[in-house]
Structures are given as C-alpha cells and as structure tokens.
Structure 1
Amino acid sequence: MDRSKNYSSKWDELGKMYGRDDLLPLWVADMDFMSPKPVIEAIEARAKQGIYGYTSKPESYFESVARWMKKRHDWDVKTDWMIFSPGVVPALSFIVNALTHPGDKILVQSPVYYPFFKVIENNGRRVVNNPLLFNDGRYTMDFDDLEEKVKDPQVKLLFLCSPHNPVGRVWTEEELKKLGRICIDNNILIISDEIHQDILYPGVKHTPFASISEEFALNSITCTAPSKTFNLAGLQTSSIVIPNKIYYDVYKNFMTRIHLLRNNAFGLVALEAAYTYGEEWLDQFLEYLDGNLKTLSEGIEKDIPQIKIIKPEGTYLVWMNCRELGFDSKHLSDFMINKARLALDDGYWFGTGGEGFQRINLACPRAYVNEALTRLKKAVG
C-alpha cells in the first residue's frame, strides 16, 4: 500500500528522525496493511451521517471488548471495569498523575518500550529499573533484583509490558504469578500494558495478568486497545480495565477533571466493528506475519550470521542482536541509516540492555522484508 499521502508518521517523519528520506521505514509500530473491511465500512457509514457531534457509548461498545477478551484470552471482564482512554500511553500518564505523587518511584523492566521512561520522568516521578536477564538468546525477569527494588517504600507502581516490547516475550502464567506475589506483598500496583496481546505466534498463549486471580485483578490496571491488533492507532481509542473500584473511581475522577471521557466519532464505531467482525482478518494477518518472521530469520541466518534474531513469542516487532558487528550505539545507528538505508528503532532507546540491538517491524508486505535483507546483506558485506 502506498502511504505517501497517508499522513503517516512512519513514512513522513523519516527526515525529521533519521536525517534522510530515502530509507525503508520499519520502525514505528503500526502496520503497512489496510484495516479490516468491516472497520472501514463502519467508519464510512458513520462519516456519511454527516453529523459529528459529541459521542455517547452504547452498551454494545464495552460488551464487544468483553466478548473479545473471553474468546481470545479466556478472560471474564466486566463492562463496569472498563473506561475509555485516547491511548495506552496517555492512560499511563493519567494513572501516574491520579495514583502517585511527584517524587514517587515507578518500576520498569528494560530494555522496554521507551515511552515508559518519558511518562514517568515528564510527570515528575522517578524511574527504578529492574532489568531483564538475557541468557542464551532468551529474556527472563530478574526476580532477585526485583525483591530488592520493591523494598523501597517510595516505589508505588510497576509498569509491566505484556507481551513485552521490544524483546518479544509472552510471559508465562508462572512468571506472572511470581511477579504478582512480589508486588502484592510489597504494596506495588501493577500497570499492565497488554496492547500487543493479540499478536501471538503459533502455539503461544497470552495470559492477561488480571485473569490469574481476583487478588491479582484487584491489584492491577490493564491497558488494552485494538490499535496494534487491527492497525487503528490513529483513531486514538483504548480501553482501560480497572477491577478495583477504588482505583477505578480515582482514575475516572481524574479523567472527569480533565474532561476526557468521550471517544471521537470514528474510533467509537471502529473499535466495536473490529472486535465484533475482525477475527478472520486477524487470523489471516497472524499467518502472514509468521511467514515474514520465517523469511527474516532464514535470511539473517543464511547471509548475515553476525546478526542474531531474538525469536519473538508475540508482537510484530523483532529484536535483533547486532553486537557482533562491533559498533557502539552511535555507530550502529549510523550504519543502519547511512549504509543499510533502513529506519529501525535503535536499541539504546529502550534503556539499559538495549545497546547493540535494533528493533524491526514486520507488519509489512513481504517485499519490504526481502528488501531489508538485501540492504543489510550488502551493507555488512
């Protein structure tokens, strides 16, 4: 699909981000595919009404979210736990402001989605890092380090990335239980970003943190959205799940104070159409994505063995270990931009442990994957 007139940040902001416009953009986490046809039709039908006044959510809106969570993830979600947000990252900021005070500390597990750091620091809170362990090409949580970090009474929240961006882990129920127990025992509220929950590779199951037990549900806030699943990020429509009424009321009161409880007209109908009619499209996308991953992995292994793919269990983002190329972070970035002519996400953006890595987005036509391999092979020599 030609996105040159799509007002796409991925394509239109290459010069701003990378200093040149002739790169193959495989960075921003959206898809180079059209959204499901039922979603497009729902938006078109809404547009034809010609009146775009203030919106009101029908009961079917959150019911569609609940049905999806039950069918895809076996999670029984009550509609009165849900509340609107214009995005997951904005929701993280709202949560930080509503439930913590300036100077409080928030745990992250790097290398991790870099807006986590900005949300914390830009709101006057402090980052506490519980870095992931990396052994034999696989990432795990460092529970011993976490046990020490949670002893600090100023630590109030933990941002959980599940599935994890960028390393691609889909945490097991056992891992989540251990994490949850540590946090509950130390009065740490878990904020679980599960925006990538539907992007899973064959044989992998996502466990929503709040689905594990009532105790875990009451000590968590889950941030979800159809944006990654159905390529709807520009519609700015997310659902925040807050089973604990105390936290729900605090969050809702904050959103009421800033007058941000209504959807835009198109996000409203798009979410319901996606969750109601988009499953077949998603299954087709996941099959295609798996093919893209195999293409990338086989091409790297065959022609560019200096780069190692960290095999993802979830997300359409792939974490590539480029340390054997022998560059520091600055020169690795320059190599990818000016020699390979690829726009990727630099690993160091994701914090400690990301140095020497690059993140590539595979939610694109296979021709882009093959072109990226061609450029990389030529650049490495």
Structure 2
Amino acid sequence: MGNFTETIDRRSTRSVKWDRLKEVYGVEDTTDILPMWVADMDFAAPEPVIRAMQERLDHPVFGYSYVCDGCKKAVAAWQLDRYGWKVEPEWMQFAHGVVPAIASVVETFTEKGDNILITTPVYPPFFAIPSLQERQVVHNRLSESDGVYSIDFDSFEQAIDEHDIKLFILCNPHNPGGIAWSGKDLKRLAEICARKDVLVFSDEIHADLMLEGKKHIPMAVASEGTGVKLVTSIAPTKTFNLAGVQAAIVITEDPELRSRLEHHAMAHGHSNLNAFAAAALTAAYEEGGPWLEELIGTIEDNMKLVIDQLPDAVPGVKVRMPDATYLLWIDYRDTGLSEEEMMDRLLNKGKLALEPGTKYSEAGRGFLRMNVATPKSNVQEGINRFIKAMGN
C-alpha cells in the first residue's frame, strides 16, 4: 500500500523542511544538513489520494468549487468508525488548517486584552496567534516526570480563577510531549471549564497517529454531559502528509457557537477548500486506512531504533516512546549542556537539524524534538549524526 523505504529527494521543491534551513537555523551552507525538525513526513502520500488529485487535475477547468456531501460523509464515517464520535454534517466547517482555525476562534470568541489559557510546553501557534491578536496568554505548566506530562488540575483551575480566562486551547494528543490524554482527564478539564464558563478549543490534528495500541479519545466524546462550550478541529494533513494541501475541519455541535464562526468566516472572506484539497481529504478518509496502519508500524520501528541506540551512546540523553505522533521528545538535561551548546553541536558538528525545546515555551528547555517520519536509513543517519555531535 505504501512505500516507506524509498528516499525521495525533497530539495528544491519549496519544502520548508528541506529548503528553509538557512533562514530557520542561520546556517550558511545547508547542503549537508539532515533536517528532522518540522512536522511533515518524507513519505509519499497514499496512492488513492494522489490518484484523486490527479483525476481532478485531468479535468482542465479549475473554477469555483465547494465541499460536497460525500466529503462530509467521509469525515463523519472516519470519526465514528475510529473514535465512536457521531458527527453530523451540519456541525462541520472547513478551514485551510488548524492554525487558521485557532486564529478564527480566538478572534471570534475573545476581545483584545482577554486572557487565554494554554498548558505548556506546547505547539508554538497556541501562544503566538493569541499574542499577535493582542490577547494575553497565560502559561499553565504541565507537571513532568522523566519526560511524561500530566495536568496539575489544581493549578489549572487556579489559573482560570486568577486570570479570568475566556478560552482554553487544548492539544489532544499533546504536541510535543506525545501524550494521549485519558478520558478521565479530558472530562475533568471539561467539567472545570464548563463550571467556569470557559470555551475550549481542542486541536486534535495528531489524533490518528496513535502508537502501540493507544486510543485517542475526542474531547467531544469525553465531555459529553458536562455542558462545556467546545470547538474541535481535526485534519487529514498530519495523518496523510498533506500539509501543503491545506485542509482542516472545524466541528462545532453548539449552533450558537457555529453561527458565530460562520459569521466570522464570511466577514473575513474565508471560502471553502480548494478543489484539490477537497478531493484529497475525501480520498484520504475513504481509502487511506490501510496506508495509515502501515505508517504506524513504520513510525514505531523508527522510534524504537532511536530509543534503543541513542541513550546508550550518549550519556545524559533520555528518550521514551510517546503515545502518539511521529515526534520524539528527547530529554538531554542530564548532559549538562545549555540549549545553545546543544544546538551548536548538532548543527555545526553533527550536521543535524532538530527543534530546540524552548520553541515550545520555556517549559521545553532541556528537550529536543525529533521527527522520525522518514525512511529508516535517514533515522539511522540522524542517530549517527547525533552521536557524532556529542563526541569529543
């Protein structure tokens, strides 16, 4: 179904991951640097998705298009079959990505100066987007033990009370920590937010990338009966390596919340998905399941390779298998190196581009994020380069 061993040359394809290293890392010569940072894959998209896009390309007229009922049915069937979440077609709106969806929710439901709560470390747009919209971002630090994160509910509730929080942005599963939040934890979060009248936006873009039999629980399922105000965003882009196609679904059961989001979209001229995105999304959800199962096995094998080799070869480095995502959150605090020292070694000695933990807020200091959604030969090369960077 999929080819996860082929090395595909992505240089000079306008790839952020491969072609923007100089701008992101400040390195003049990037020709010999191996990028294992931004969260897209080096694998070809599923064949049914490529075929659907090619079929659309073969029709030479590219006029205005819309998301058809078949597309919505494919989304609903995927959510029901995999997560037991019954989503009605009328609950769906479409966006060009989860990040634009975050921006829409922030602007629709909060005012300048309002306080928005996030749990850190977390994906950078969670704090960047609200800040750019002149909202105040309150960082509630997750509890951490050996790289495993949990929610400090007392601290979470206290932050809501002290800062008059209007919106909580949840990462479910968690990026970069790879935690699949339990139904119990999600329900408790929902109960607190319902009691405090805090809107929840749940980013579930990594939901399909569950490892070693772990189960994703949508916030909408866990929060049933709590009365929480909830907006959820999902997407096929992370699952099927379609980030450049730009497609996401915003799911809102509450008709009042949904109406306000629709008004915001109309006021800003946001239109439907483009013709290729709609075709790709439908094919991914209708036919992408077998490819995804093969991908999960590949990701697990790649992660085990890093976990088996890197800590033994580099004293002070710890790596654990996450519950979800294709991203490893590497703990190097026991090496005694600062982030500046670590990044200098990796880039200039090892010729390896990983992401520094502070990109995910100060709570990520002492960690690195490594993307292993690449052929195993690249993963082994990345391990070798990391070891070389840490050598004397």
Question: Aligning the two structures, in what range does the TM-score lie when normalised by the shorter sequence?
Answer: over 0.9
Q: TM-score, normalised to structure 2's length? A: 0.95
Contact 2:71–2:282 (CA under 8 A) maintained in structure 1 = yes
Aligned residue identity for 1:76: K
Structure 2 residue 78 is matched with structure 1 residue 68: yes
Indicate the SS of the match to 1:156.
strand
**Residue identity opposite 1:98 in structure 2:** T
CA contact (8 A) 2:193 2:228 kept: no
Comparing 82-91 with 71-80, greater Cα deviation is found at 71-80
What TM-score do the two structures reach when normalised by structure 1? 0.97
> Which residue number corresponds to residue 195 of structure 1?
205
Contact 1:218-1:244 at 8 Å conserved across structures: no
Which residue matches 1:166? 176
1:153: how far off?
Answer: 5.9
Change (3 A) 1:347 1:137: closer
Counterpart check, 1:87 vs 2:94? no
Would the alpha carbon gap of residues 39 and 58 (structure 1) be closer, same or farther in structure 2, given more than 3 Å must change? same
Asked whether 1:184 is paired with 2:194, we answer: yes
What 5-or-longer segments of structure 2 have no aligned partner? Answer: 1-7
| 1:358 match: secondary structure | strand
Q: Percent identity?
A: 39
Residues 216-256 of structure 1: CA distance to partner in whole angstroms, max 9, x if unpaired?
Answer: 57521111100000001111110000111111000000001
Match of 2:4 in 1: none
1:365 paired with 2:375, answer yes
Q: Does the CA-based 8 Å contact 1:209-1:216 persist in structure 2? A: no
The alignment of Structure 1 onto Structure 2 pairs a total of residues equal to: 381
Aligned to 1:246: 256
Bigger mean CA offset, 260-269 vs 302-311: 302-311
Residues 296, 336 of structure 1: alpha-carbon distance in 2 compared, 3 angstrom cutoff = same
SS of corresponding position for 1:149: helix
- 1:1-381 matches, within 5 Å, as 1-20=8-27, 21=30, 22-152=32-162, 154-216=164-226, 219-381=229-391
**Residue pair 2:122, 2:176 contacting (<8 A) in 1 also:** yes
Q: Distance in 1 between matches of 2:348 and 2:228?
A: 49
Aligned to 1:206, what secondary structure does the other structure show?
coil
**Where does structure 1 lack aligned partners over 5 or more consecutive residues?**
none
Deviations 1:31-76 (A, max 9, x none): 0000000000000010010111111221111110000011111111
8 Å contact kept, 2:372–2:379: yes
State how far apart, in whole Å, the 2-side matches of 1:8 and 1:153 are: 40
Separation in 1 of the partners of 2:387 and 2:163?
50
In the aligned structure 2, how far is the partner of 1:266 from the partner of 1:245? 29
Asked whether the 8 Å contact 2:66–2:274 carries over to 1, the reply is no
Aligned equivalents of 1:186 and 1:128: distance in 2? 16
Aligned to 1:318, what secondary structure does the other structure show? strand
1:328 Cα deviation from its structure 2 partner: 1.8
CA distance in 2, matches of 1:310, 1:126: 33
Moved >6 Å (runs of 4+):
none
Alpha carbons 1:87, 1:236 under 8 Å: kept? yes
Tell me, yes or no, if the aligned pair for 2:118 and 2:139 is still in contact at 8 Å.
Answer: yes
Give 1:335 deviation, angstroms: 2.0
What is the CA–CA distance in structure 1 between the aligned matches of 2:307 and 2:12, rounded to whole Å? 32
